[in-house]
């Protein structure tokens, strides 16, 4: 162990060697907080602390796995496997499997993902006969989620007149009823949503002192990474569990708090010293990750925030190259700059793809980058967006499996009761739902007791329902002895799902079939991995839990070499030698939705700080002058954050355009092209997790689906180069007009034209079909 302790600097050693009692490490990015947490666990184990007595909470399950590996390297035993380590959600899901029965949940409860929750909420809104334009299911789901994260139960909601009034003001007086119905339906289905995993844990620990005592005794040492982004519910769990032994170690950086929109509460860090006695406070100042230019640039940014703890970050690393800023005319060209730069760096320095990351503010920005990377045959992986497990065909198979584990799972049942079609229609389902609500039973139980209740269902349909129940029961019997792979393969075949797509015969159907095959391969890998673990069986229940709780990063096993594309939020805690931060534009980053208050703007700035500090060697900031947003090309203006970096650390690759306020003008680039066609070319986001990759065929299909938007859609050659202000022109769709103004050069040249019909339009000349008269 001593050898390993020497891999730490003096400031890092202190918290690692800290004796019992609470401690907090507050330090800037890249200063070794995560390393300290990892080494402290190893150190505790080397002192003889039983690995069963340690609980570590991380931002992703992948981070937990990596930490375990590192700890096993250091302490040299397989004991690391026994550590309880993972995200809040996965750790407490496990706890609820053991003790959730006290709250009335079965040990095999289903975890509803966001899509399941939203489908259920929409069904409830419909059943209650409410206007779906006022009660928007996504908004309703958001509200319910935020109540749960603040531990506001239905009863507490009704007792809180502020909340009730706020919903009434928002023309949603029946929010409370929806909330109540939603909670009841989840409970009846034996299901918990993501927020329940924390809410129910809190409930369990408060209502059952003996359960609390058991886990307090078990988790004698609790460690939390990224503490700045814990929400109220998480805070209370940690507080309760650590109350007896007070061996709580939290590490974090208030400057990297970026999840307040999801209820993360920075005061958890600020109040830590008040919450515990004799807190050991530690600060780390030396950054080991990044060049001096990057560290200094990041410092100059975050200094602009008024609301923060004082911190010093310095590095003894090389100065490194300056931060490069690049402007492109459009997002397609921005993509080309990124792919071209990666290509050159790879060529010149023989670098793997995994050394590069492209970070953006919103998922939709990935499309242009993907197109450009594909053109250069650079492999990449997108994290976030629509995940593999959300695809219809995958969810269909998973729904059968969910039903095997928990036949009460209503969302799973509704998905597949008539897929593949077996003649069970909506009216039958409505009758079953009414009966289920009436008898307070699940739909499956009603189906299983049809001979005992008269639902006016004809004998043919009854037989079909009976066959379905028998099929699920046969899968259940098989599940008693089979591993996840064997069962899943059997279910995919016997349910008829595979055959359905095979019969379909279209390229889409075949693609779906291939995806299911890849799912099965993924399950096989999973089973093999699980069997190596101390307490795992590799059954389907374990697999479903893994799928439900995997964060997007967790699907990366790092076994193939790809450029990483992800949102900045997801990049927290990670590092890459080369980082591109794209879309550095006002209204995009900072986001248009986050500029109303100083605190929102400061959160955007912290987000930029997180982005920049992911880079080890080189950071690129790119922005465009025109961006295709919401189906329109809009003028863009460089982000204020670019100007906020001390200019000593920045090199402009393109001539500087000073930021100025320009109102957004819609530029109609497409002239007479049918826009509805263009809109169909939306990218399908999300590449599948590793082991589940699109094959060449599918990739070819994808490529065909995505036209290069920067290639002219109209006829570029029809514009007379002598077009000047005052020229009379004819446009195939808008008719005759006169040029009032010309601006921009080259590819960017635009003309403002007053058409005889009265409209004034700005057209990008390389796209517009204009004839000079
Ligand atoms: N004493 C050290 N000697 C050498 N390398 C170190 C040392 N401490 C940390 N590092 C390396 O520096 C990098 C950053 O460390 P780490 O990820 O632990 O920082 P962090 O404070 O958790 O960053 P973030 O705030 O981004 O989460 C890692 O690659 C880590 O291995
Ligand atoms: Mg970290």
41 and 255 in contact (C-beta within 8 Å)?
Answer: no
Which candidate, 274, 209, 207, places its Cα nearest to that of 235?
A: 274
Nearest residue (by CA) to ligand 1, atom 23, is 30
DSSP for 672-712 reads TS-HHHHHHT-----PPPTT----HHHHHHHHHH---TTS-
Distance (Å, rounded) from C-alpha 565 to C-alpha 358?
A: 5
Catalytic residue status for 33: yes
ipTM (interface pTM): 0.99
Q: What local confidence, expressed as pLDDT, does residue 413 receive?
A: 96
Local confidence band at 747 (pLDDT 50, 70, 90 cut-offs): low
**Cα–Cα dist 381/384, whole Å:** 10
Instruction: Give residue-wise pLDDT tens across range 726-738.
Output: 888 888 777 888 8
From the list 100, 630, 599, the residue with the least C-alpha distance to 306 is 599
Q: Which atom of ligand 1 is nearest to the CA of 12?
A: 1
Report how far ligand 1's centroid is from the alpha carbon of 61 (Å): 18
CA distance to 88, 526, 543, 559, per residue, from 529 (Å):
22, 5, 11, 14
Cα 708 to Cα 181: distance, rounded to the nearest angstrom: 47
Residue 636 · residue 627 · CB < 8 Å: yes
From CA 106, how far away is CA 120, in angstroms rounded? 20
Decide if pLDDT at 753 tops 80. Answer: yes
Q: How many CB atoms lie within 10 A of CB 507?
A: 11
Query: 90 pairs with which residues across the strands?
Result: none
Residue 575 CA, ligand 1 centroid: distance in Å: 9
Q: 32, 39, 63: which to mutate for ligand 1, most atoms within 8 A of CB?
A: 32
Average pLDDT, the chain: 86
Ligand 1, atom 30: nearest CA belongs to which residue?
A: 32
Distance between CA atoms of residues 367 and 358, nearest Å: 12
pLDDT in tens, 32-78: 999 999 999 999 999 999 999 999 999 888 888 889 999 999 988 77
Atom 6 (ligand 1) nearest CA: 288
Q: Which of 127-131, 237-241, 723-727 has the lowest mean pLDDT?
A: 723-727
My answer on whether omega of the bond before 580 falls inside 30° of 0, hence cis, is no
- Under the banding of pLDDT at 50, 70 and 90, the label for residue 345 is very high
Kindly tell me if the per-residue pLDDT of 442 is higher than 80: yes
Ligand 2: centre distance to CA 273 (Å): 21
Record the tokens describing residue 644, joined without a space.
Answer: 């906020």
Structure tokens, 186:
């989840």
Per-residue pLDDT at 690 exceeds 50: no
Q: What is the pLDDT of residue 554?
A: 62
Say whether pLDDT at 486 is over 60.
yes
Distance of CA 67 from the midpoint of ligand 1 (Å): 13
Average pLDDT rounded to a whole number, residues 400-429: 94
pLDDT for 386: 61
* In 533-590, alpha helices (H): 540-549
Mean pLDDT for the stretch of residues 266-291? 94
Binding-site residues for ATP? 27-34
Is residue 432 scored above 70 in pLDDT?
A: yes
Structure tokens at 358: 């492209």
Q: Which of 226, 393, 409, 585 is catalytic?
A: 226
Ligand 1, atom 1, residue with closest C-alpha: 8
Q: 299, 287 in Cβ contact below 8 A?
A: no
Atom of ligand 1 nearest to the CA of 29: 25
Condensed to tens digits (0 to 9), the pLDDT of residues 653-679 reads: 987 654 443 333 333 333 333 333 333
Ion ligand 2 contact residues with beta carbon within 5 A = 33-34, 573
Q: What pTM value is reported for the model?
A: 0.78
Phi, psi of 523 (to 5 degrees): -65, -35
Residue 622 pLDDT grade (very low, low, confident, very high; cuts 50, 70, 90): very high
226 labelled catalytic: yes
**633 vs 264, which has greater pLDDT?**
264
For residue 574, report the distance from its CA to the centre of ligand 1, in Å: 10
Nearest CA to ligand 1 atom 15: 32
Flag the least confident range among 131-140, 298-307, 530-539, 590-599.
530-539
Alpha carbons 584 and 301: distance in angstroms, whole number: 14
**pLDDT over 60 at 688, yes or no:** no
- Say whether pLDDT at 380 is over 80: yes
> Which ligand places an atom closest to the C-alpha of 31?
1
**Ligand 1 site: residues with CB under 6 angstroms?**
7-9, 12, 27, 29-35, 253, 256, 288-289, 573, 575, 613
Q: Which of 256, 330, 622, 624 is catalytic?
A: 256
* Window from 118-127, 291-300, 699-708, 714-723 with minimum mean pLDDT: 699-708
> Where does the pLDDT of residue 515 fall: very low under 50, low under 70, confident under 90, or very high at 90 and above?
confident
- Helix, strand and coil in the chain, % to nearest 5: 50, 15, 35
Annotation says 410 is catalytic: no
Q: How far apart are CA 620 and CA 610, in angstroms?
A: 14
- Specify the length of the chain in residues: 773
CB atoms within 10 A of CB 373: 25
Edge-to-edge strand list for the sheet holding 23-27: 84-86, 54-57, 221-224, 248-252, 23-27, 280-284
Asked about 327 being catalytic, the answer comes back as no
Cis peptide bond upstream of 590, omega within 30:
yes
Closest by CA to 611, choosing from 649, 583, 646, is 583
The pLDDT of residue 693 is 39
Instruction: Evaluate the CA torsion angle 514, 516, 522, 527 in order and state its sign.
Output: negative
pLDDT at 552: 61
pLDDT of residue 773: 82
Stretch (H or E) spanning 728: strand 728-731
């Amino acid at each position: 162990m001593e050898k390993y302790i020497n891999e730490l600097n003096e400031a890092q050693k202190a918290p690692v060697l800290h004796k019992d009692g609470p401690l907090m490490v507050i330090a800037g990015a890249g200063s070794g907080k995560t390393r300290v947490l990892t080494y402290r666990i190893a150190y505790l184990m080397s002192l003889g602390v039983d690995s069963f007595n340690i609980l570590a909470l991380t931002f992703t399950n992948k981070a937990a796995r990596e930490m375990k590996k590192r700890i096993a390297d250091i302490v040299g035993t397989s004991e690391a496997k026994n550590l309880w380590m993972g995200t809040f959600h996965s750790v407490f899901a496990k706890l609820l499997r053991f003790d959730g029965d006290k709250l009335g949940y079965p040990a095999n409860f289903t975890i509803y993902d966001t899509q399941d929750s939203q489908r259920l909420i929409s069904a409830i809104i419909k059943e209650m006969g409410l206007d779906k334009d006022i009660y928007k299911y996504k908004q309703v789901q958001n509200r319910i989620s935020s109540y749960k994260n603040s531990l506001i139960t239905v009863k507490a909601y009704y007792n809180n007149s502020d909340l009730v009034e706020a919903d009434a003001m928002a023309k949603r007086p029946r929010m409370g009823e929806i909330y109540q119905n939603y909670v009841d339906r989840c409970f009846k289905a034996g299901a918990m949503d993501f927020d329940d995993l924390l809410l129910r844990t809190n409930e369990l620990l408060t209502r059952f002192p003996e359960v609390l005592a058991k886990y307090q005794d078990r988790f004698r040492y609790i460690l939390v990474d990224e503490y700045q982004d814990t929400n109220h519910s998480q805070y209370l769990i940690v507080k309760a569990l650590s109350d007896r032994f007070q061996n709580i170690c939290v590490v974090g950086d208030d400057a990297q708090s970026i999840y307040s929109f999801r209820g993360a509460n920075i005061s958890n860090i600020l109040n830590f010293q008040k919450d515990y006695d004799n807190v050991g406070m530690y600060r780390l100042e030396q950054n080991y990750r990044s060049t001096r230019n990057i560290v200094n640039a990041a410092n100059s940014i975050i200094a602009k925030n008024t609301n923060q703890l004082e911190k010093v970050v310095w590095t003894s690393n090389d100065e490194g190259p300056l931060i490069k800023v690049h402007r492109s005319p459009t997002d397609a060209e921005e993509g080309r700059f990124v792919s071209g730069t990666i290509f050159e760096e790879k060529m010149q320095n023989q670098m793997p793809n995994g050394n590069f990351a492209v970070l953006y503010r919103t998922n939709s920005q990935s499309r242009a980058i993907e197109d450009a990377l594909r053109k250069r045959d650079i492999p990449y992986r997108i994290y976030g967006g629509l995940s593999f497990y959300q695809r219809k065909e995958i969810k269909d198979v998973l729904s059968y499996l969910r039903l095997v584990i928990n036949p009460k799972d209503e969302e799973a049942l509704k998905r597949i009761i008539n897929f593949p079609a077996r003649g069970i229609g909506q009216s039958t389902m409505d009758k079953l739902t009414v009966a289920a609500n009436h008898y307070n039973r699940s739909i499956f139980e009603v189906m299983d007791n049809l001979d005992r209740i008269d639902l006016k269902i004809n004998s043919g349909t009854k037989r079909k329902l009976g066959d379905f129940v028998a099929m699920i029961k046969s899968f259940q019997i098989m599940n008693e002895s089979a591993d996840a792979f064997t069962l899943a393969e059997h279910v995919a075949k016997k349910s008829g799902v595979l055959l359905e797509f095979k019969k379909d015969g279209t390229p889409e159907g075949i693609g779906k079939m291939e995806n299911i095959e890849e799912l099965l391969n993924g399950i096989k890998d999973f089973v093999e991995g699980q069997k190596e673990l101390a307490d795992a069986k590799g059954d389907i229940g374990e697999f479903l839990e893994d799928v439900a709780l995997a964060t997007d990063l967790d699907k990366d096993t790092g076994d193939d070499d790809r450029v990483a594309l992800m949102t900045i939020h997801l990049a927290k805690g990670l590092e890459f030698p080369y980082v591109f931060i794209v879309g550095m534009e006002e209204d995009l980053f900072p986001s248009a939705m986050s500029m109303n208050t100083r605190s929102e703007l400061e959160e955007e700035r912290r987000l930029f700080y997180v982005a920049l500090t992911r880079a080890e060697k080189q950071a690129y900031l790119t922005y465009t002058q025109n961006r295709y947003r919401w189906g329109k090309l809009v003028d863009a203006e460089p982000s204020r954050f670019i100007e906020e970096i001390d200019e000593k650390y920045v090199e402009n690759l393109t001539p500087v355009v000073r930021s100025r306020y320009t109102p957004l003008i819609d530029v109609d680039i497409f002239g007479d092209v049918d826009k509805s066609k263009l809109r169909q070319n939306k990218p399908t986001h999300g590449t599948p997790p590793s082991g589940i990759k699109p094959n060449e065929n599918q990739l070819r299909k994808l490529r065909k689906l995505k036209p290069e938007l920067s290639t002219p859609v109209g006829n570029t050659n029809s514009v007379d180069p002598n077009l000047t202000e005052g020229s009379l022109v004819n446009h195939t769709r808008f008719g005759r007009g006169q040029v009032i103004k010309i601006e921009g050069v080259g590819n960017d040249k635009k003309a403002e034209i007053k058409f005889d019909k009265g409209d004034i339009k700005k057209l990008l000349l390389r796209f517009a079909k204009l004839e000079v008269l």
